[in-house]
């Protein structure tokens, strides 16, 4: 069996290991993370504990939507309104939150709270603009609840006098918004809106200027998040919400960034607020479901995944998240159905999606099908460490002798270490298993000893048991699946 085919694989995801569904090998990647739990009275943060899912298992949807509605500028005629387009790439925490003021690039275009000498930070789960959900609000908590209507487009106000500075500033800002793609262009829109505000835009035209400023700040926040500028992105999202408290995309994007930074309570508040304003936004339900999984609230997670898929049956992130949740809870046929649907989405299949289905197929006893998915994952991302590691583990420890491949397992385990992603102790454990499978017991003992030195306490017992086996000249084998499942499998 050639390595290119055989050694495309990964070890089981942290969510599965934590619940004991597929804990047959190296320790999954897990981080010490806080939990967010929902109650009738709001949100509470618990101390870090054994995670319901690993940080790498969080599934968050990118924000990519076309522009709706019409804007408030009437020269020479009404034109489409700005809205969030493009994608939001979530980022890791890079420190504390940045202050708001440096992000607003012109003193003439500041929100009302700043003109009153107030500083809105958006911090804390009881902030002025963020509301936590309660179980009495079905559109937040259930998949079939009655949802409030989405806000309508703003009514075009009377146009400012043609040729005035106010008119020119808003027209320039709007025209640039039609093609803006870069951080610099979004900043220019903010400055043009500031020019209009300084020139005395009033009433509905000022309202539109605020909305356009919020749109540009949200888009610039997305661009900064894409670049890994976490603090600046959060500051832009906060500023956007000061200009337009109903900018649901800014709530969503700030929530995604906060969740990726581990600030789950604040993220939960923001995503709930997004759903309150726009209960038709499928990605927000999918993201909130992920937070419920993180908190161990399976019932509410299921409800939100179903809400997401009722709004968008092809939303890959919801299909994958729901598939993982079904895998975690032993609903293997349902999990495979969701993963199959995710694999059918042209353009949305990622290494993570293929690897997740591969992990499930291992638990179904369909080892060769799993290897195909691991191979696909590596084809999609040649540096996807989980695929190398999980596949190497399968090739080294599979109870089916015909599936084991000593050379491919060694190659995959070494490649996983070279990728340098994930828990090094888990990769070392996989390499030790591959070495023992190849009869290299002395090397296996040395490798697993390295893993024991750096492994978290809860993993050391299993590692030490395997070291004892290697010292006795015995390879490690996973337990066979007692009854191979026969759920339908489709080629991705």
Token pair recorded at residue 378: 């590596």
Per DSSP, the three-state class of 331 is coil
Q: How many Cα atoms sit within 13 Å of 82 on the Cβ side?
A: 30
Within a domain: residue 315?
Answer: no
The residue range of the domain holding 78 is 69-126+145-246
User: Interior CA angle at 30 toward 25 and 32, to 5°?
Assistant: 145
Q: What is the mean pLDDT of the chain?
A: 73
Question: What pLDDT score does 166 carry?
Answer: 74
Hey, what are 3's tokens? 């390595």
The whole-number mean pLDDT for each consecutive block of 10 residues of the chain, a chain of 492 residues, reads: 37 30 30 27 32 41 40 39 31 28 33 34 30 30 33 41 69 90 94 86 82 94 91 95 95 93 94 97 96 95 98 95 96 97 90 95 97 96 94 98 97 93 89 98 98 95 98 96 52 44
Q: Which pLDDT does position 420 carry in this prediction? A: 78
For residue 266, tell me if it sits in a domain. Answer: no
- Whether 12 is in a domain gets the answer no
Q: Which tens digit of pLDDT belongs to each residue from 66-116?
A: 332 344 444 433 333 333 333 322 222 223 322 222 233 333 333 333 333
Q: How far is CA 478 from CA 15, 168, 363, 394, in A?
A: 19, 71, 11, 9
- pLDDT in the model for residue 201: 73
Closest CA to 233 of 194, 186, 195, 193: 186
What are the residue ranges of helices labelled H in 199-263? 203-226, 230-243, 248-260
Cβ contacts of 18 within 8 Å, gap of 6 or more: 28, 30, 50, 51, 52, 53, 54
Of 8, 24, 11, 93, nearest in space to 57 by CA: 11
Per the confidence metrics, is the pTM higher than 0.75?
no
**Nearest alpha carbon to residue 308 among 105, 135, 139:** 139
Question: Is 226 part of a structural domain of the chain?
Answer: yes
> Number of folded domains in the chain?
1
The answer to whether the beta carbons of residues 201 and 166 sit under 8 Å apart is yes
Q: What is the C-alpha to C-alpha distance for residues 377 and 387, in angstroms, rounded to an integer?
A: 6
Whether residue 77 lies inside any domain: the answer is yes
pLDDT of residue 393: 98
Q: What per-residue confidence (pLDDT) applies to 244? A: 94
Give Cβ neighbours of residue 345 (< 8 Å, ≥ 6 apart): 314, 316, 319
Half-sphere exposure (CA, 13 Å, Cβ side) for 254?
31
* Domain-located, residue 115: yes
What pLDDT is recorded for position 200? 80
Residue 268 is assigned to a structural domain of this protein: no
Pairwise CA distance, residues 267 & 272, whole Å = 9
323 is a domain residue: no
* Residues 187, 188, 189, 195, Cα dihedral to 10°: 120
Does residue 76 have a cis bond before it (omega within 30 degrees)?
Answer: yes
Dihedrals phi, psi of 37, to nearest 5 degrees? -125, 140
């Amino acid at each position: 069996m050639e390595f290119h085919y055989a050694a495309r694989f990964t070890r089981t995801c942290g969510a599965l290991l934590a619940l004991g569904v597929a804990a047959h090998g190296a320790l999954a990647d897990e981080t010490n993370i806080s939990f967010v739990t929902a109650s009738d009275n709001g949100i509470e943060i618990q101390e870090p504990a054994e995670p319901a899912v690993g940080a790498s298992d969080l599934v968050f949807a990118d924000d990519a939507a076309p522009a709706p509605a019409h804007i408030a500028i009437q020269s020479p005629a009404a034109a489409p309104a700005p809205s969030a387009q493009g994608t939001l790439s979530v980022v890791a925490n890079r420190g504390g939150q940045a202050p708001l003021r440096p992000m607003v690039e012109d003193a003439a275009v500041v929100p009302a709270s700043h003109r009153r000498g107030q500083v809105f930070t958006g911090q804390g789960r009881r902030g002025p603009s963020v509301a936590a959900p309660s179980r009495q609000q079905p559109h937040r908590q259930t998949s079939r609840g009655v949802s409030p209507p989405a806000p309508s487009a703003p009514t075009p106000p009377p146009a400012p006098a043609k040729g005035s500075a106010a008119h020119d500033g808003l027209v320039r800002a709007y025209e640039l918004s039609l093609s803006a793609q870069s951080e610099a262009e979004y900043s220019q829109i903010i400055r043009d809106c500031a020019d209009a505000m300084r020139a005395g835009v009033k009433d509905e035209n000022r309202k539109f200027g605020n909305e356009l400023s919020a749109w540009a700040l949200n888009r610039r926040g997305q661009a900064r998040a894409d670049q890994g500028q976490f603090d600046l992105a959060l500051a832009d999202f906060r500023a956007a919400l000061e200009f337009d408290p109903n900018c649901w995309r800014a709530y969503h994007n700030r929530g995604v960034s906060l969740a990726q930074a581990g600030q789950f309570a604040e993220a939960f508040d923001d995503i709930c607020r997004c759903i309150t304003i726009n209960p038709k936004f499928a990605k927000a339900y999918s993201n909130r479901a992920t937070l419920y999984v993180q908190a161990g609230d399976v019932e509410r997670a299921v409800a939100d995944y179903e809400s997401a898929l009722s709004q968008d049956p092809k939303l890959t992130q919801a299909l994958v998240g729901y598939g993982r949740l079904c895998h975690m809870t032993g609903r293997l046929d349902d999990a495979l159905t969701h993963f199959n649907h995710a694999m059918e989405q042209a353009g949305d299949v990622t290494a993570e999606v293929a690897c997740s289905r591969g992990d499930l197929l291992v638990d179904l006893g369909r080892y060769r099908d799993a290897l195909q998915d691991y191979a696909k994952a590596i084809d999609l991302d040649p540096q996807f460490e989980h695929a190398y590691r999980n596949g190497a583990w399968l090739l080294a420890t599979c109870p089916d002798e015909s599936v084991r491949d000593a050379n491919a397992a060694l190659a995959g385990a070494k490649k996983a270490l070279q990728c340098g992603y994930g828990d090094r102790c888990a990769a070392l454990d996989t390499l030790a298993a591959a070495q023992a499978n190849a009869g290299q017991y002395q090397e296996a003992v040395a490798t697993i000893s390295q893993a024991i030195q750096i492994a978290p306490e809860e993993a050391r017992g299993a590692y030490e048991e395997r070291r004892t086996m290697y010292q006795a000249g015995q390879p490690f084998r996973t337990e066979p699946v007692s009854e191979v499942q026969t759920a339908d499998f489709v080629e991705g």
